[in-house]
Amino acid sequence: MSSLPRSADSPAPDRRGGGSRRRAGAAISAAAFIALVLLGFVPGIVGTAVAVMLPWLWIPALVLCVAALRVRGRRWIAAVPALTWVLAVSTSITWLPAAITGSPWQTDGNLVVASQNVQASSGTADASARALQQQGADLVALTELDAESREQAIAELAGSHPYSYLVGTVGLWSTLPIAEAPPLDLGLGWRRALAAQVEAPGGPIEVYVIHAASLRPGSQSARDTMLRALGDTIAADAADRVIAIGDFNAAATDPALAAIRAQLDEPRQEAGGFGFTWPAGVPLARIDHVYQRGFEDSSAKTLRAGESDHLAILAALG
């Protein structure tokens, strides 16, 4: 039986309800995304976890943008997740291409510094040291050194980097004289960091090498204590040129790095991108860093060296 025709007085189907639900859904999704990003500024395990995820949050941000573009009358919502993400990662600007042009690694006058966690059990610290030496590194910082890897690195770099200073699980090798090397206490009494004054053209350079405590389930206080103490130490350092380098066990926007980021800048990646360093096979996070102040130009890149589970970092500072 055919349906009766709708009379002129009959109400039209309410399509506004579906549009309202879509607008509400888009607004709620955008608000949830913003809340998640803002949690990355909260000190502690929550901020640390969000900092690791943050570089990858462009994916849900893009999905939310596409979905919001389909909402009539509220298309401006589409820009909110993307803008929020961009502002959050702007504190870690290394994902933009470096400003240095040409080949900074071959430019006279640039200081080339290298760092790698060599993974104590890998047995390839000599290969790591050799690879960084071949890249022309003036300063080589190695972390997570055990007895075997210490001896390997010492033997490999003895000819090319005659100046060195080793403390516990960290070491610094230099082609330039090391004038002073005072002990560095970061509040835990652990031998996982060092300070050294390197004599370089243009004046001395204060160099800090750190292997921050690892994150443990339910506890990250040791790592946070070390990073906070390093930030305080750098803040009290009046040197014109300062470098802090090593395995910080913290992603670029981790709140625990705030005191360090307030004092020093991190070089941009030569080829753009985020410069992920760990795990070496499929890098998902940048927990190894080079920070500096007093150098006008800088550029950085990552490379495979040895069989460590960390990629190495190479930075040219001019």
- Residue 101 is predicted with a pLDDT of 55
Q: For residues 105 and 109, what is the distance between their CA atoms, to the nearest angstrom?
A: 10
- Residue 14 is predicted with a pLDDT of 45
Nearest to 266 by CA among 235, 299, 229: 299
The arithmetic mean of pLDDT across residues 274-279, rounded, is 94
The arithmetic mean of pLDDT across residues 193-209, rounded, is 96
For 219, residues 6+ apart whose C-beta sits below 8 A from its C-beta are: none
For the cut 80, the answer to whether the pLDDT of residue 10 exceeds it is no
Quick one: 224 exposed, middle or buried, by C-beta within 10 A (0-12, 13-18, 19+)?
A: buried
Lowest mean pLDDT among 46-55, 60-69, 145-154, 258-267: 60-69
Q: For all residues of the chain together, what is the average pLDDT?
A: 89
- For domain 97-317, give the CATH superfamily: Endonuclease/exonuclease/phosphatase (3.60.10.10)
The arithmetic mean of pLDDT across residues 261-273, rounded, is 89
Q: For residues 197 and 206, what is the distance between their CA atoms, to the nearest angstrom?
A: 5
Backbone angles phi, psi at 3, to 5 degrees: -75, 150
- Residue 271 is predicted with a pLDDT of 79
Q: For residues 177 and 165, what is the distance between their CA atoms, to the nearest angstrom?
A: 11
User: Would you list the DSSP string of 272-291?
Assistant: -S----BSSSS--B--EEEE
The arithmetic mean of pLDDT across residues 234-238, rounded, is 97
Which tens digits make up the pLDDT trace of 78-116? 889 999 999 998 877 666 665 555 567 666 779 999 999
Strongest mean pLDDT among 83-92, 235-244, 263-272: 235-244
For the cut 60, the answer to whether the pLDDT of residue 13 exceeds it is no
Of all residues in the chain, what percent carry a pLDDT higher than 70? Answer: 88
How much of the chain is helix, strand and coil, in % rounded to 5? 35, 20, 45
- Residue 182 is predicted with a pLDDT of 85
Lowest mean pLDDT among 52-56, 170-174, 192-196, 216-220: 216-220
Q: For residues 11 and 307, what is the distance between their CA atoms, to the nearest angstrom?
A: 72
Which tens digits make up the pLDDT trace of 118-161? 999 899 999 999 999 999 999 999 999 999 999 999 999 999 99
Strongest mean pLDDT among 28-37, 178-187, 240-249: 240-249
- Residue 268 is predicted with a pLDDT of 87
Domain ranges (residues) in the chain: 16-93, 97-317
